Structure 1
């Protein structure tokens, strides 16, 4: 096979593998009501199937990136896809919801290996084909965006026709296809392994990762009141562990989250904060609205998936417009305009407390996609210009973690505000919370200024 077809095939395999993480993060949104019914869960309980995925993704992305650098990206990509295929083949047979959440976490670790491995491999693939690396990277990014867009539609059809089990089983052929394509078409790693296992464990900051996950879990369990008699103890323990985590990361040579980078770069810290809070608003809609439409609107999962499609589709349409606007007006003005638009659309979401007719839902989901596309690309550019070139790899990893933290925050708050179910009364409380978060996001970006050159 010549270089050009081999390169196209390798990029297709990498795109397919990296798309599994956004695909699985969005497909699950239309299955929450079905999972609650099958396992006898409340709203707070079912959110753990989302939280487990995001916790594993948040911790797994930077770790898998380090492993790809150390042992070779092709090896880590193949290992990740194999892990996804095996886990998703077994997950439908989980006897209880706890094991199902474990399966989602393991699947997230497998998919987390794909993106950093693909980014590392792109350099070798582009060099082999004598093309700029930006071209294959752009194709991979488009695959990720498209996967997030079609996730609710695909998930709705699978749940409606087969059941929630299909959300796992569909990954088996996809992961195997990505594995076989990359194995055939991607360049070999060569001899990249070096150092002992002890050195690898030391450099991976396992205690830092464990503290990060433990702090988030304890705070979430306290917020969701999982164990009422121990609620305040869990909150206190989570706070203490979070403080210890920060103390360790500031002193560790190769930290899981480089907090020193934030301490010396105020513009970057503000971008992270604004992006995390904005993400919580978006995921309020992404995970809360499907449950509202199914519970109060009586729509099937397949119909709900279609109703959510305009949100993702409009975000794709808005992205190139935002790029042009940033070139003309600057990043800060686009950020502020995006937050103002987000606030207006969040306020319009109040209309759903009175009606859930399809035309209103379609218009509102389409409108929400516009600020999501604008703020998604604008915060990404804000991160880029707020970090120094030698720090952009680390900066991008923390940026992605902020997305997961925002998603986790939204799922926890949905459990708190809709403990009795996602109906129109609880949706009113959720809209009020979104407006508060919008105000906080606006305050952050009004203060933000680009980093001086």
Structure 2
């Protein structure tokens, strides 16, 4: 059998696995009412089922990337998918809400392994198939984009027919299929680190990892305001741990995160900054627009989900064209063009301050989806070419964390701007913020250059 069909099936398995994290982060939103009724919860308590997934994913992705770099992406990917399958098979039998949240944390940890491992495996797979790395990266990015957008629709169907338990059970066959395809068709890991367990643990920078995870989680909990009475204490604790993390990483060898190397890698830092800005802009629309349509437009939630689908559809359709454009014009030109189009599409959202008619909403969400696909794949490829092969796991993990930071920032600002009410006038203020984010993202795209070393 030629390598091309085998690598195609391997990429399919990687795409399926990487889709599970965004799918589960979005489709749980439709189950909150059912969970509240089943476990007799109040609104602040039930939101922990979302918060714990965000926190574990954001903190876990760089750690999983580091493990993939050290011990091999294929075996870590298989472990992650097995963890998801086992967790999701047991979670529906949880007798209380605490165990549901614990299951969500384990699910997030398992799915967090997928994207960093996939990025590490992209290089060998592209070489086997004799194609540019943009091809497999494009397929993986398409699965991420479409999964996040169709999550609420799939979740709504599952919850209405089978209950919240179905949101766990659906992951069992999906994760097993991803596990089988990668186990069967992905190339074996190259020789990675070996040695005594005590030596591996000593060289793994466990204190550095714990300081990184702790600081990130405390700061994110402060931003999400999950414990209002302790918000500023959480921020102070997270800042202190961040300082200790920097001190540790500058003193320890080999560090979990080589801050000196990262500081010298300007292209990678610009990719992270640009991707965070891009996701802040995108999630303004993804989280803010449905609220506007429901409360100011009076649309049923099911209709709102359908009105948002063109965003996902057009981003998926535009991704293959973006891949070919990158192969012809290189990453920087496609990235700049995508950011310009994204900013213009954001400005067009101003028309919703005057009308929320269905044709207008469909046209604008479709318009926003085109540059979303372009910027997503250009950013992914920018991250890929800005790192050396042995650094790509942890680099991909931090890249995904940048996505969550952008999404959380958008969530916080939406709460501020909608504080006086979900109105078309306040949506206009949000559009101005989106334009500001687009302008800064444009400057970052102009500054980015592909690594030459």
**TM-score range for the pair, normalised by the shorter chain length:** 0.7 to 0.9
Provide the C-alpha distance between the structure 2 equivalents of 1:171 and 1:394, rounded to a whole number of angstroms. 25
Question: 1:47–1:415: 8 Å Cα contact kept in structure 2?
Answer: no
Provide the C-alpha distance between the structure 1 equivalents of 2:121 and 2:226, rounded to a whole number of angstroms. 43
Matches within 5 A, 1:50-69: 50-68=50-68
Provide the C-alpha distance between the structure 1 equivalents of 2:95 and 2:402, rounded to a whole number of angstroms. 33
Provide the C-alpha distance between the structure 2 equivalents of 1:27 and 1:220, rounded to a whole number of angstroms. 21
Change (3 A) 1:218 1:311: same
2:371 match: secondary structure: helix
1:250 match: secondary structure: helix
More deviation, 168-177/389-398 = 389-398
Provide the C-alpha distance between the structure 2 equivalents of 1:228 and 1:143, rounded to a whole number of angstroms. 36
- Specify the alignment match of 1:347 in structure 2: 347
- Specify the alignment match of 2:173 in structure 1: 173
> What whole-Å deviation, never above 9, does each CA across 1:281-330 have from its counterpart, x for those lacking one?
11222233334444554544443332222112212233344445556666
1:194 match: secondary structure: coil
1:374 match: secondary structure: helix
Question: 2:314–2:370: 8 Å Cα contact kept in structure 1?
Answer: yes
Gaps in structure 2 of 5+ consecutive residues: none
Q: Does 1:40 align with 2:42?
A: yes
> What whole-Å deviation, never above 9, does each CA across 1:232-287 have from its counterpart, x for those lacking one?
33322222222222232333334343322331132332222121111111122223
Which TM-score applies when normalising by structure 1? 0.80
Provide the C-alpha distance between the structure 2 equivalents of 1:190 and 1:331, rounded to a whole number of angstroms. 28
Question: 2:88–2:168: 8 Å Cα contact kept in structure 1?
Answer: yes
More deviation, 438-447/90-99 = 90-99
Gaps in structure 1 of 5+ consecutive residues: none
Task: State the shift of 1:9 in Å.
Answer: 5.5
Change (3 A) 1:368 1:11: closer
Task: State the shift of 1:352 in Å.
Answer: 3.7
More deviation, 167-176/136-145 = 136-145
Task: State the shift of 1:373 in Å.
Answer: 1.5
Q: Does 1:377 align with 2:377?
A: yes
Change (3 A) 1:304 1:3: same
Q: Does 1:441 align with 2:437?
A: no
More deviation, 64-73/243-252 = 64-73
Task: State the shift of 1:171 in Å.
Answer: 0.9
Question: 1:32–1:291: 8 Å Cα contact kept in structure 2?
Answer: no
Question: 2:74–2:182: 8 Å Cα contact kept in structure 1?
Answer: yes
Change (3 A) 1:173 1:278: same
Provide the C-alpha distance between the structure 2 equivalents of 1:341 and 1:88, rounded to a whole number of angstroms. 40
1:255 match: secondary structure: coil
More deviation, 362-371/48-57 = 48-57
Q: Does 1:255 align with 2:255?
A: yes
Provide the C-alpha distance between the structure 2 equivalents of 1:232 and 1:369, rounded to a whole number of angstroms. 37
Task: State the shift of 1:49 in Å.
Answer: 4.1
Question: 1:156–1:301: 8 Å Cα contact kept in structure 2?
Answer: no
Change (3 A) 1:413 1:21: same
Provide the C-alpha distance between the structure 2 equivalents of 1:262 and 1:69, rounded to a whole number of angstroms. 16
Provide the C-alpha distance between the structure 2 equivalents of 1:18 and 1:143, rounded to a whole number of angstroms. 7
Matches within 5 A, 1:192-207: 194-207=194-207
Task: State the shift of 1:188 in Å.
Answer: 6.8
More deviation, 156-165/3-12 = 3-12
- Specify the alignment match of 1:88 in structure 2: 88
